Amino acid sequence: MSGPRSLFDPWKIVQIGAWLILVALLIWPLSAILSASVIDNDTGALSLGNYREVVETRAFRRAFVNTLIAGFGGMTGALIIGVTLAWITARHVIAGSRTIQLLAILALVSPPFIGAYAWIVLFGANGVVRNGLAGIGVDIPPIYGVWGVILVFAMKFFPHVYLMTSTALQSVNPSLEEAAENLGMPPGQRFFKVTLPLITPAIAASALLTFVLSIADFGTPRLIGRDFNVLATEAFTLFGGELGGNPGMASALSMVLITISLVLVMAQRWAIRRDVFGGNMIRRPEMKRLGGWRSAWMHGLAYAIVLFGTIPAITAVLFSFRKTHGPVFQPGFGLESYQKVFAQVSAPIINTLVFSAICVTLIVAVGTLIGYLLARRPSTGTALLDGALMVPYIVPGIVLGIAYITRFNTPPVAMTGTAAIIILVIFIRRLPYAARSVASALRQVSPRVEEAAISLGCPPMTAFFKTTVPLIAPGILSGALMSLVTAMNELSSSLVLYVGGTATMPVRIYLAVIDGDYGTASALATILLVLTALAVLIAFRLAEAGKTGPSGAVKLAT
């Protein structure tokens, strides 16, 4: 005789719900582009013609190669800059290191497109800086072309590398480094032989992220690349072509883009396959105090990096206060751009706020529950779920946008042109980040805390809400604000999905830049920047509050 072997667990319902959401909002739409890519546009028959055309057309072959160049170039640049900055700030006493961190985050969240535009204003054919340098006899080439694209990607994405790597650097057990030194290894070698291998998983993760972001970005190649076409720009042009477009080809290119990301994910997994460096933290690494020249050049380098990274944001703010007449800038300063924004284009501001608020609410609710599953209910099922959650990481926003339009254009679920479709696509794109950050916050809280509540008579769900949720609340909230930031700044998917009434601020900025209405673009970008910066600051405060005070004694037990 034996009793029932599995007692009822409400988390099973959560798991089923999570799968339903993933299937409905991710797998089902993506299946639409897969099928569209293997169907002939004219005959409707099953064919590999689209793929053959990708291989045979010279422009597409070039786009493929260019995509790889942009991806690896952007990744390499971001890694060099990001790891350097992380190493300087995580291990040395640098005056104003909080400012550096804030500036890096500001660079990270600066509205898209305005970045590319600002680089043109400064370093383009008629760029302010370029002309200035020419005046003192220094000739630099204009920023256009492949090197420009790579430079912009590096400056745009290095903060990801910086943030992930400095966290890893701060949690390397200093005893390991001391052991290396004690065994006779000089500090310079030690960094490469001991420290670097230990933070490889973090570097590999950020490398993957910057690669995927680089190949998904189509605004930068468009504005700065000139004739440097990539798969993302080709797909967007093919799909958005005013004259009907070519959904089959756009889908085939999208599939190629997804495949490239997928291969990179595999490569990254392979690279960190031996990641067994459990962080058994006893104390934090020491910060080295610097003196003299070393201090000077480290400070100089750190500030140069972050200031260079925030140039687009600074330029946008400055230009938003320039006097304009129509779309043309005039000498002097004025508030015309803002007057115009509030008089003519206030709808996108409202849209952005409403859409992102709804989005974040959904993301927090669903992401917290899924994050719990990942962290506390490890099983084959949740491992699969975690794998499925990787999909939004590797599917470029533009591709997911195309998938949504293809799938939701006609019944059974027709919702193109609605606000819902924009909200849902941002929701699914950002959900994995929220779920994973909740999962990692949960791993800091001993599961015994919840078991204690259960043994004291709390049903499992109540125990979760009474003990675990209050403990990870600061983490959830700061994660929510970061989701808010990304939701407000989401462009690529919205650009495919918007109609007149559902345009958001990033979309409107993009349109203004394309129209040459830089005043409006700058003013909108500044407003977006201020909102973003506010959210980031509050998130920071919350994260800080979470580290101290009675409610933050989370690190207590492991």
Total residues found in the chain within this entry = 558
Among 65, 80, 128, 452, binds another protein (CB under 8 A): 452
Give 463 or 495: the residue with its C-beta nearer to another protein: 463
Q: How far is CA 1 from CA 6, 7, 8, 373, 407, in A?
A: 15, 17, 20, 32, 52
- Using an 8 Å Cβ cutoff, are 220 and 66 in contact? no
Number of residues that bind another protein (CB under 8 A): 34
Q: How far apart are CA 324 and CA 301, in angstroms?
A: 36
Per CB under 8 A, does 553 bind another protein?
yes
Give 71 or 474: the residue with its C-beta nearer to another protein: 474
Per CB under 8 A, does 463 bind another protein?
yes
Per CB under 8 A, does 557 bind another protein?
yes
Give 7 or 183: the residue with its C-beta nearer to another protein: 7
- Using an 8 Å Cβ cutoff, are 395 and 30 in contact? yes
Four-residue CA torsion sign, 142, 303, 532, 334 = negative
Q: How far apart are CA 400 and CA 491, in angstroms?
A: 12
Per CB under 8 A, does 455 bind another protein?
yes
Structure token digits, residue 197: 């291998």
Q: How far apart are CA 124 and CA 142, in angstroms?
A: 5
Min separation Cβ 9 and another protein, Å: 9
> Segment near another protein (CB under 8 A), from 25-33, 61-69, 451-459, 520-528?
451-459
Among 2, 126, 344, 410, binds another protein (CB under 8 A): 2
Per CB under 8 A, does 279 bind another protein?
no
Residue from 62, 97, 460, 356 nearest 229 by CA: 62
- Using an 8 Å Cβ cutoff, are 199 and 164 in contact? no
> Segment near another protein (CB under 8 A), from 90-98, 196-204, 433-441, 447-455?
447-455
Min separation Cβ 458 and another protein, Å: 5
Per CB under 8 A, does 375 bind another protein?
no
Q: How far apart are CA 511 and CA 286, in angstroms?
A: 49
The torsion angle over the Cα atoms of residues 232, 237, 239 and 241, rounded to 10 degrees, is 170
Per CB under 8 A, does 558 bind another protein?
yes
Give 450 or 517: the residue with its C-beta nearer to another protein: 450
> Segment near another protein (CB under 8 A), from 11-19, 87-95, 113-121, 454-462?
454-462
Interface map 531-550 toward another protein (x if CB under 8 A): -------------------x
Per CB under 8 A, does 384 bind another protein?
no
Among 168, 249, 400, 453, binds another protein (CB under 8 A): 453
Among 227, 451, 515, 544, binds another protein (CB under 8 A): 451
Q: How far apart are CA 208 and CA 57, in angstroms?
A: 28
Give 354 or 553: the residue with its C-beta nearer to another protein: 553
Give 4 or 291: the residue with its C-beta nearer to another protein: 4
Give 185 or 458: the residue with its C-beta nearer to another protein: 458
Min separation Cβ 554 and another protein, Å: 6
> Segment near another protein (CB under 8 A), from 155-163, 222-230, 381-389, 442-450?
442-450
Min separation Cβ 343 and another protein, Å: 49
Burial grade of 292 (CB within 10 A; 0-12, 13-18, 19 or more): exposed
> Segment near another protein (CB under 8 A), from 205-213, 441-449, 514-522, 523-531?
441-449
Q: What are phi and psi of 443, to 5 degrees?
A: -65, -15
What DSSP line would sit under 468-525, residue for residue? IHHHHHHHHHHHHHHHHHHHHH--HHHHHH--GGG--HHHHHHHHHHHT-HHHHHHHH
Q: What are phi and psi of 46, to 5 degrees?
A: -70, 125
Q: How far apart are CA 34 and CA 29, in angstroms?
A: 9
Structure token digits, residue 94: 């640098």
> Segment near another protein (CB under 8 A), from 4-12, 14-22, 82-90, 115-123?
4-12
Min separation Cβ 382 and another protein, Å: 14
Among 68, 318, 449, 533, binds another protein (CB under 8 A): 449
Per CB under 8 A, does 3 bind another protein?
yes
Instruction: Determine the straight-line distance between the first and last CA of the chain, rounded to whole angstroms.
Output: 38
Among 176, 272, 287, 554, binds another protein (CB under 8 A): 554
Per CB under 8 A, does 1 bind another protein?
yes
What DSSP line would sit under 43-59, residue for residue? T--B-SHHHHHHHH-HH
Structure token digits, residue 199: 């933070």
- Using an 8 Å Cβ cutoff, are 366 and 436 in contact? no
Structure token digits, residue 78: 């971001």
* Residues between 7 and 66 with contacts to another protein, criterion CB under 8 A: 7-8
Min separation Cβ 282 and another protein, Å: 14
The three-class DSSP label of residue 322 is: strand
Per CB under 8 A, does 467 bind another protein?
yes
What DSSP line would sit under 214-233, residue for residue? HHH--HHHHHH-TT---HHH
Give 143 or 471: the residue with its C-beta nearer to another protein: 471
Give 92 or 376: the residue with its C-beta nearer to another protein: 376
Q: How far apart are CA 363 and CA 434, in angstroms?
A: 7
Q: Which residue ranges make up the site for another protein (CB under 8 A)?
A: 1-8, 446, 448-449, 451-460, 462-463, 467, 470-471, 550-554, 556-558
